[in-house]
Amino acid sequence: MEILHSKILGEGQPFIILHGFLGMSDNWKTLGTQYSENGYEVHLIDQRNHGKSFHSEEFNYDVLSEDVIRYMDHHNIDSAYVMGHSMGGKTAMQLATSNPDRVTKLIIADIAPRYYPPHHHFIFNGLSHLDFDKISDRREADEELSKHIKEKGIRQFLLKNLYWEEKDRLGFRFNFDVLKERMEEIGENISSNAVYEGPTLFLRGDRSEYIQPDNFAEIKRHFPQAEIETIDKAGHWLHAENPKQFYNKSLAFLNS
């Protein structure tokens, strides 16, 4: 069985961080380093079909959660603090509700336990216009992408996934074809009777639409101990848009 790729920082209590859709462990390097300086052994994981982890046709929250359990077993981790952002948050919810004894505390960043309709079409449309037979560097890739995706921050996030497949040919680290096909899976919810009784923190961006006040009751139903906090001046990428407040609130919860 293949084991997820990760970067491990520091020593102390195991703390697993799961990136969002089309992201990778590198997105969390700065914050991960800060947590590692405060007594945590931080595991920045690439989920399947992302980053340097293996590619697979199978892609849903059950298998994503099982990947993390297998990773924990491989690294002899009985129980860990677990944090996930967006898609990684759904993986973390699935992990905690199906294996509560393996999760010490849970942090969910800007995603609720509910169904989200597919909304990444414009991203895949833009990415599908990148012809690596003609594009020879990141600048050219950004120019082409900018015709389809106006937000510079989103383009920069996506372009982190480019790497040199061969000496003079760029490619995507993520599994473009499978992820495009499985967009519906990304929005799926955890099962209706899933419950995690352990300490839980939900962090939401004040400018994000992913967690609304009318989701609070549903959060409490699945996660009875959940605290819900808001990060100021932040949208869906709250950890990148207000990293200081995100770090302070998350660390206070971990240490409490």
Tokens found for residue 98:
């199906």
How many CA atoms does the CB half-sphere of 108 hold within 13 Å?
A: 32
Transcribe 168-192 into DSSP letters: TEEEESS-HHHHHHTHHHHTPPPPT
**Of the candidates 39, 43, 36, 38, the residue with the CA atom closest to the CA atom of residue 19:** 43
Tokens found for residue 159:
């372009």
What CA–CA distance (Å, rounded) separates 210 from 201? 15
3-state secondary structure of 147: coil
Sign of the Cα pseudo-torsion (123, 129, 130, 135, in order): negative
Location of structure tokens 């101990």: 225
Location of structure tokens 């981790």: 77
List 73, 78, 131, 177, catalytic entry:
177
Active site residue 86: yes
- Tell me 47's DSSP state: P
What CA–CA distance (Å, rounded) separates 43 from 16? 5
Active site residue 121: no
CA 120 remoteness from chain centre: 15
List 86, 98, 208, 250, catalytic entry:
86
The values of phi and psi at residue 207, to 5°, are -105, 5
Provide the annotated active-site residues: 86, 177, 236
